[in-house]
Structure 1
Amino acid sequence: MAHLDEPIEVGALADVAGRSRFHFTRVFTKSVGLTPHRYVVHLRLRRTIELARSGRQGLGEIAASAGFADQSHLSRWARRVHGVSITRLLARS
C-alpha cells in the first residue's frame, strides 16, 4: 500500500496501463467493482484501521498517513462508505 498518502490520479494510472482515462476507468470498474477513486478510498480506510490498531498515532496523524486531507475528511469518508463514525468503525475492527 505504498504511496497511499500521495495524490493518485486516474490519468496517471491510465497512462501506466496504456489506456485512455475513460477506458481505464470503465475496465477497472468492471473488473474490481469500484471506480478507481472509490478503490483508493477503501485502501486508505483499510490503512487507517491498521494504523489505529498500532496505537502509536493520533487520529489526525493517522488520517494524514493514510492519504486523507485531515481528520474531518477521513470521518466523512468513513461515514459515507461504512455508514458509521470513524470511532465506531475503529471499535468494530
Structure 2
Amino acid sequence: MQLTAPATPAPRRTGTRDADGMAVASFILGLLGLLVLNVFLGPIAIVLAAVALWRGTARRGRAFLGLALGVADLLVLLAFMQADSTISWSF
C-alpha cells in the first residue's frame, strides 16, 4: 500500500480572479453611473470591462453588461447635455 497526498484541485490563477473582480466592478460602476458622476464612472466602467474581457474573465456576462452600462452612461450624459445646452446635468 502506497500513501499519496490527496488530489487537490488546481488553484485559480490570480489574473482570472482579478479579471472577475474587474467585471463585477465595471457592472456596479456602470449602474451607479446612470445616476451620478456619469462623466467619470462611464469611461471607468468601459475600461474595466474591456480589461476584464481581455484577461479572459469567467464572468463575461457581467463584463458585457458593464461595457453596455458604461456606454449608456455617456449616452445619458450626452442626451441631458443636449436637452439643457450645458456641459453637465443635475436632477
The verdict on a shared fold, with TM-score over 0.5 as the criterion, is no
What TM-score results when the alignment is normalised by the length of structure 1? 0.37
Q: Which structure: larger Rg?
A: 2
Structure with the bigger RCO (C-alpha within 8 Å, sep 6+) is: 2
> TM-score by structure 2 length?
0.37
